[in-house]
Amino acid sequence: MRRYLLPVLVIAGILLSVPATANEIAIAPQVDASRLPQLGTSWLAANPYRHQAPASEAVAIGRDAYNQACARCHGADASTNAAPAPDLRNLDRGCRRIADAELKAWCQRDNDAYFAKSVRNGKIILGVTHMPPWENVLKQELAWAIQLFVESRVAAK
């Protein structure tokens, strides 16, 4: 038994020294969202900035917020598929392929709803936090701006 003691202690030490919860904390990005049209506290069903706000401003603000809040898991500047978490540029891939404008709009609305739900609730699977919930941490203005930024990265590819 004693000869197992040292390896067991070493392994336990390694496990304990990894801050298991560090990744699970959602930290609000320090980004001024006041230049975006304000949306109030209840979340909208679809991205209001896609056809409304000056898109370039929303994309620039979204980029800042993304790099502060999301990049550590989803990859810097939303421009890699080698990050630990899914490449968010793939999210609207299906909708982009649709030519029919009406169908495309439906697809996009579904996509927006899924994006907002994922961001608000996080991804907690069998009790394990893969992504922390962002509800009450990330303003919805910033969340929608982040989505536009991610979509703009696809277009630039």
Query: Measured from the CB atom, is 39 or 85 closer to ligand HEC?
Result: 85
SS3 5: helix
SS3 77: helix
- Residue 72 interacts with ligand HEC (CB under 6 A): yes or no: yes
Q: Mark residues 92-121: x for contact with ligand HEC by CB under 6 A, - for none.
A: -----------------------x--xx--
Q: State both tokens at 103.
A: 């169908």
Q: Which residues contact 7 (CB under 8 A, 6 or more apart)?
A: none
Q: How many residues bind ligand HEC (CB under 6 A)?
A: 20
Please, are residues 119 and 136 in contact by the beta-carbon 8 Å criterion?
A: no
Query: Measured from the CB atom, is 3 or 89 closer to ligand HEC?
Result: 89
- Residue 131 interacts with ligand HEC (CB under 6 A): yes or no: yes
Interface stretch with ligand HEC, choices 4-12, 43-51, 85-93, 102-110 (CB under 6 A): 85-93
Please tell me the distance from the alpha carbon of residue 29 to that of residue 125, in angstroms, as a whole number: 25
- Residue 23 interacts with ligand HEC (CB under 6 A): yes or no: yes
| Helix 55-69 vs helix 140-156: crossing angle, to nearest 10 | 100
Write down the least CB distance from residue 50 to ligand HEC, Å. Answer: 16
User: 39: number of CA atoms within 13 Å, CB side?
Assistant: 20
Q: Report the interface residues with ligand HEC, using CB under 6 A.
A: 23, 69-70, 72-74, 85-86, 88, 91, 115, 118-119, 123, 125, 130-131, 134, 138, 146
